[in-house]
A and B are shown apart, each in its own frame.
Chain A
């Protein structure tokens, strides 16, 4: 590349004394014989027409110290890029393949920059060219050279078609928009980044602006593309458990990237991600990026309901035998089909399956099929199982709902309490406090100091045992083993007590069923009516609470999912009950 253009350069190479120059992507000369790269770049030599100051600005790049804040020049999108990079690295340490970071997320991000007209396009909002050249100018800088894949992307083969079009742009771009300089001067007054003020004021139609929660949407999209074994609920839980940088992610920015003023509003975050919110953002971003259909979710994928159901059955200590029933429900409802499961943002109505919520909802439906959960039948079935187990101690024990309830109730209550306490103890504030302007900088720092010293004082009063030991990341929150009497493991228990042989197939003894809702919104949203806890049986409430705690979602969301599955499962019944103006709440199992 660029051998023609390099002809003007006639100096001898400092290493091998040859005069054979090529141009690097960044516009620097390199010796074709010994591959030594010079400090001189092409612009300096052949763009004599450009005023000197600008050239210097380009050359000094990120390292140019600004008078006011002594930091690097950086753009908001670079901040997000850094966060994404950190998150991708964290995912990699969680066991995700390196392609996620190097290819998928990288390309998504490039595509985002292009779509939001920040780079890789004809008229970028900000000049990304300076950024990219500059970044590659300093490959020796420790903080940045570890991520060449993310940043020096121009030579990367892009899997996104439109990405290829953008490549030549970089070289045909105007070097620097004139307004830039004055803008950056005013901007520096109230933000550490060059474009913090503009960024927070930017309100273009059709552009999805980057926010910290949206970084998680990017992560999830790449996980989904790779069909990794991390669900959305898992991802958010890892964030909460601090295995993935999110809150105060800006702390890991290089020292020279100063944040203040408007940057605070952009990068500081005081809430944990919320499932529904991130879910919406996933779809939003996927549509904005105009992504093609994602790789198929087939039966051997982790996200397939059959596999997820197995996982959650293990998690909540239910018998393995229930898996046959969940598979049956999945089959009857058609939820295991590739077209149903695969995310296709281009489709008319983009929506992705909430794999984890759905799998859990299937289990709830199966529990309702087996035990009815009307605060009555489940207990009488438990009595039968208990008696049987007393008589036949040698045999494989029948599953006893009451006993399971007791074990789970205790376990979940303990877990919940620990979780609540850990949340209450969570330290939100970063060691690097953010301030609004130079005026309150000293106040903010002083306050920080005060808090630290007070904390030090109280930490001496705390017991010697570390209060919250960081858990190692796991997709399981419980582990059930046969040992220990109060934590009975029900995985091996049989469902004989609740099933009966009919011809060749097994039937549930319970022949009744009640629907979680019969009224769906008549409008487009297909929403179910809201979940009013007190209208439902205690066992149902317990089970919903159990699962929604595991997924850290609202019970109403799970209830909604259950209702949607029931709607698919009892399609026929729904239409008839509707006609009958829903006189009975019970529908017989088909």
Chain B
């Protein structure tokens, strides 16, 4: 069941993603100018990194030439004090923000606003975004600030120039969500959704899609709340019908809002997840499978482990054949070899009839234990101990050696040191036993870890110890002859 906080977690995550999306380029021609649009008439060649370069036929970038041109433009004169003080002011704001001195930051912000009146049109054009970012940060944290102040600020900033309207609207909505004002956020998003200004650039289109998707996410939240209510109702209850009807309505609207965004390459985890949940709820398995497959396999999308996890979970729910599950997890194994699903992957491989899969099963286990985060995973060790024995029994010594060769230099000190043995024994005796068996099998009975553990005297584990020693004696790769 989803709560607001969960949604907000997703939103925060997305917010971060949003920050890394290519920002709209500020300069394109628009029809029907108003307010400050005179700034947009002159197209400028300035890329987003703020590193102006001179476009030339070969696509070469000559920053020095631009600098030269700039000095000619200013008549070789020095930068004006206005430019100097405003840039000093900007760095003072940043410093204050860094030190969480909101009041001080607000003081400087008061002066920094005059950059909106800079006679340099290039600076004037980028100013609104800088002011928005800094200002919203200040208003977010400042003790004297309130939702009202933030709203006024956002509304004002939206209308300085036209290029920032959508971005600010979206961030404004996120702010409102953060304060639990879902309805206001929804209203805000609806307003932004219908906003049009001349020809849309491709980047603006992404923003509109994002805004719609967030609206969809909000509707999903309402839907899932309704679903919860529904689950508490009796099917015979007369309220049941209206409630389910209500839900249906919502899901329809939501899917429209969500599906447009999902088509565009990007990382859209929360959107995909909620969309799929709704599709599944209404029994559209094919639709859900298509969305997930596309999300995971379309090459235009950035590599995203979650896409494969969602697909795997979906296929598992669907009881898809083992072969299919293995192929999904194989990709995940390549991206995140330490993922917790890898143990499940190992089990699948073990059960497979394919010889290749058995070999991969061993590889996967070794792979998991390469990671420091997994060193105390008892399941992984147990699987490895068991599977090693099994493999060696099945006389696939070569497989083991292949894996071990690349690890024999560092695993002994990484996993099997004396210190480790002592601390493992102290913390988790079962883990220590499994590890000792593995150590014995890989390094022989002379190894420190094995010796250390086998010396320990413990009533309950006595039988296990004995077995362990026997296995080591019989199968250890160090003295295969004996």
Q: Which residues of A contact B36 (CB under 8 A)?
A: 443, 446-447
A463 CB–B CB distance under 8 Å: yes
B117 CB–A CB distance under 8 Å: yes
Partner of A427, one of B81, B102, B114, B116: B114
Tell me, in angstroms, the Cα distance from A427 to B177 when the chains sit together. 36
Q: Is the CB of A462 within 8 A of B114?
A: no
The smallest C-beta distance from B435 to any residue of chain A, in angstroms, reads 59
Q: Which residues of B contact A455 (CB under 8 A)?
A: 110, 113
Q: Is the CB of B116 within 8 A of A461?
A: no
Q: Which residues of B contact A179 (CB under 8 A)?
A: none
Partner of B156, one of A271, A443, A450, A459: A450
Chain B 81-120 against A: per-residue CB contact (8 Å), 1 yes, 0 no? 1110100110010000000001100111111011011010
Q: Is the CB of B152 within 8 A of A450?
A: no
Q: Is the CB of B142 within 8 A of A426?
A: no
Tell me, in angstroms, the Cα distance from A73 to B144 when the chains sit together. 50
The smallest C-beta distance from A265 to any residue of chain B, in angstroms, reads 10
Q: Which residues of A contact B85 (CB under 8 A)?
A: 423-424, 426, 428
Instruction: Tell me whether A425 and B116 are in contact in the complex, defined as CB-CB below 8 angstroms, given that A270-B81, A458-B110 are known contacts.
Output: no
Q: Which residues of A contact B160 (CB under 8 A)?
A: 450
Instruction: Tell me whether A421 and B92 are in contact in the complex, defined as CB-CB below 8 angstroms, given that A271-B81, A461-B145 are known contacts.
Output: yes
A163 CB–B CB distance under 8 Å: no
Tell me, in angstroms, the Cα distance from A448 to B110 when the chains sit together. 14
Q: Which residues of A contact B145 (CB under 8 A)?
A: 461
Partner of A461, one of B38, B83, B106: B106
Chain A 371-387 against B: per-residue CB contact (8 Å), 1 yes, 0 no? 00000000000000000
Whose C-beta in chain A lies nearest to the C-beta of B144?
A461
A429 CB–B CB distance under 8 Å: yes
A172 CB–B CB distance under 8 Å: no
Q: Is the CB of A429 within 8 A of B92?
A: no
Chain A 420-454 against B: per-residue CB contact (8 Å), 1 yes, 0 no? 11011111110001000000100100111011011
Tell me, in angstroms, the Cα distance from A46 to B199 when the chains sit together. 68
Q: Which residues of B contact A477 (CB under 8 A)?
A: none
Partner of A440, one of B38, B107, B114, B149: B38
The smallest C-beta distance from A505 to any residue of chain B, in angstroms, reads 49
A272 CB–B CB distance under 8 Å: yes
Q: Is the CB of B111 within 8 A of A424?
A: yes
The smallest C-beta distance from A275 to any residue of chain B, in angstroms, reads 14
Interface residues of A in 398-437 (CB under 8 A from B): 420-421, 423-429, 433
Q: Which residues of B contact A425 (CB under 8 A)?
A: 89, 107-108, 110-111
The smallest C-beta distance from B338 to any residue of chain A, in angstroms, reads 47
Q: Is the CB of B38 within 8 A of A462?
A: no
Q: Is the CB of A458 within 8 A of B106?
A: yes
Instruction: Tell me whether A450 and B116 are in contact in the complex, defined as CB-CB below 8 angstroms, given that A428-B82, A457-B149, A461-B138 are known contacts.
Output: yes
Interface size of B as a range: 35 or more
Partner of A462, one of B110, B119, B152: B110
B457 CB–A CB distance under 8 Å: no
The smallest C-beta distance from B151 to any residue of chain A, in angstroms, reads 11
B387 CB–A CB distance under 8 Å: no
Whose C-beta in chain A lies nearest to the C-beta of B89?
A424
Instruction: Tell me whether A460 and B144 are in contact in the complex, defined as CB-CB below 8 angstroms, given that A424-B92, A428-B82 are known contacts.
Output: yes
Interface contacts (Cβ under 8 Å), in number, total 90
Chain B 43-85 against A: per-residue CB contact (8 Å), 1 yes, 0 no? 0000000000000000000000000000000000000111101
Tell me, in angstroms, the Cα distance from A454 to B108 when the chains sit together. 13
B35 CB–A CB distance under 8 Å: yes
Q: Is the CB of A463 within 8 A of B92?
A: no
Tell me, in angstroms, the Cα distance from A454 to B117 when the chains sit together. 13
A contacts with B: majority SS: helix
Whose C-beta in chain A lies nearest to the C-beta of B116?
A451
Q: Which residues of A contact B149 (CB under 8 A)?
A: 457, 460-461
Q: Which residues of A contact B404 (CB under 8 A)?
A: none
Interface residues of A in 506-527 (CB under 8 A from B): none
Tell me, in angstroms, the Cα distance from A7 to B471 when the chains sit together. 141
Q: Which residues of B contact A142 (CB under 8 A)?
A: none
Q: Which residues of A contact B301 (CB under 8 A)?
A: none
Q: Which residues of A contact B106 (CB under 8 A)?
A: 458, 461-462
**In the complex, which of the residues B38, B110, B135 has the most CB atoms of chain A within 10 Å of its own CB atom?**
B110
B383 CB–A CB distance under 8 Å: no
Partner of B114, one of A421, A428, A453, A457: A428
B153 CB–A CB distance under 8 Å: yes
Q: Is the CB of A462 within 8 A of B103?
A: yes
Q: Which residues of B contact A457 (CB under 8 A)?
A: 149, 152-153, 156
The smallest C-beta distance from B136 to any residue of chain A, in angstroms, reads 12
Q: Is the CB of A429 within 8 A of B111?
A: no
Tell me, in angstroms, the Cα distance from A105 to B399 when the chains sit together. 100
The smallest C-beta distance from B84 to any residue of chain A, in angstroms, reads 8
Tell me, in angstroms, the Cα distance from A462 to B85 when the chains sit together. 20
Q: Is the CB of A270 within 8 A of B138?
A: no
Tell me, in angstroms, the Cα distance from A455 to B45 when the chains sit together. 31
Interface residues of B in 119-156 (CB under 8 A from A): 119, 131, 135, 138-139, 142, 144-145, 149, 152-153, 156
Q: Is the CB of A459 within 8 A of B110?
A: yes
Whose C-beta in chain B lies nearest to the C-beta of A443?
B38
Q: Is the CB of A458 within 8 A of B109?
A: yes
Tell me, in angstroms, the Cα distance from A144 to B131 when the chains sit together. 43
Interface residues of A in 456-479 (CB under 8 A from B): 457-463, 467
Whose C-beta in chain B lies nearest to the C-beta of A446?
B35
Tell me, in angstroms, the Cα distance from A270 to B153 when the chains sit together. 28
Q: Which residues of A contact B103 (CB under 8 A)?
A: 461-463
Chain A 78-106 against B: per-residue CB contact (8 Å), 1 yes, 0 no? 00000000000000000000000000000
Partner of A433, one of B81, B117, B152, B153: B117
Q: Which residues of A contact B114 (CB under 8 A)?
A: 427-429, 451
The smallest C-beta distance from B134 to any residue of chain A, in angstroms, reads 11
Interface residues of A in 480-531 (CB under 8 A from B): none
Q: Which residues of A contact B107 (CB under 8 A)?
A: 425, 458, 462-463, 467
Whose C-beta in chain B lies nearest to the C-beta of A423?
B85
Whose C-beta in chain A lies nearest to the C-beta of B102?
A461
Tell me, in angstroms, the Cα distance from A423 to B117 when the chains sit together. 18
Interface residues of A in 268-282 (CB under 8 A from B): 270-272
The smallest C-beta distance from B128 to any residue of chain A, in angstroms, reads 10
Q: Which residues of B contact A453 (CB under 8 A)?
A: 156
Whose C-beta in chain B lies nearest to the C-beta of A421?
B92
Chain A 151-180 against B: per-residue CB contact (8 Å), 1 yes, 0 no? 000000000000000000000000000000
Whose C-beta in chain B lies nearest to the C-beta of A273?
B81
Q: Is the CB of A454 within 8 A of B142?
A: no
Q: Which residues of B contact A271 (CB under 8 A)?
A: 80-82
The smallest C-beta distance from B184 to any residue of chain A, in angstroms, reads 19
Tell me, in angstroms, the Cα distance from A460 to B152 when the chains sit together. 13
The smallest C-beta distance from B144 to any residue of chain A, in angstroms, reads 5
Tell me, in angstroms, the Cα distance from A179 to B445 when the chains sit together. 114
Instruction: Tell me whether A454 and B113 are in contact in the complex, defined as CB-CB below 8 angstroms, given that A424-B89, A462-B103 are known contacts.
Output: yes
Tell me, in angstroms, the Cα distance from A391 to B82 when the chains sit together. 54
Q: Which residues of B contact A433 (CB under 8 A)?
A: 117
Whose C-beta in chain A lies nearest to the C-beta of B142?
A461
Whose C-beta in chain A lies nearest to the C-beta of B82?
A270
The smallest C-beta distance from A251 to any residue of chain B, in angstroms, reads 15
**In the complex, which of the residues A425, A426, A446, A461 has the most CB atoms of chain B within 10 Å of its own CB atom?**
A461
Tell me, in angstroms, the Cα distance from A457 to B155 when the chains sit together. 13
Instruction: Tell me whether A451 and B117 are in contact in the complex, defined as CB-CB below 8 angstroms, given that A428-B82, A446-B35, A462-B110 are known contacts.
Output: yes
14 contacts between A and B (CB under 8 A): A270-B119, A271-B80, A271-B81, A423-B88, A424-B85, A424-B88, A425-B110, A440-B38, A443-B36, A458-B106, A461-B106, A461-B138, A461-B142, A462-B103
**What 10 A-B pairs have minimum CB-CB distances, sorted nearest first?**
A461-B106, A270-B82, A271-B81, A424-B89, A270-B80, A425-B111, A458-B110, A424-B88, A271-B80, A458-B109
User: Chain A: residues with CB nearer than 8 A to chain B?
Assistant: 270-272, 420-421, 423-429, 433, 440, 443, 446-448, 450-451, 453-455, 457-463, 467
Given A423-B85, A425-B110, A461-B142, 5 more pairs with CB closer than 8 A: A271-B81, A423-B81, A454-B156, A458-B113, A462-B106
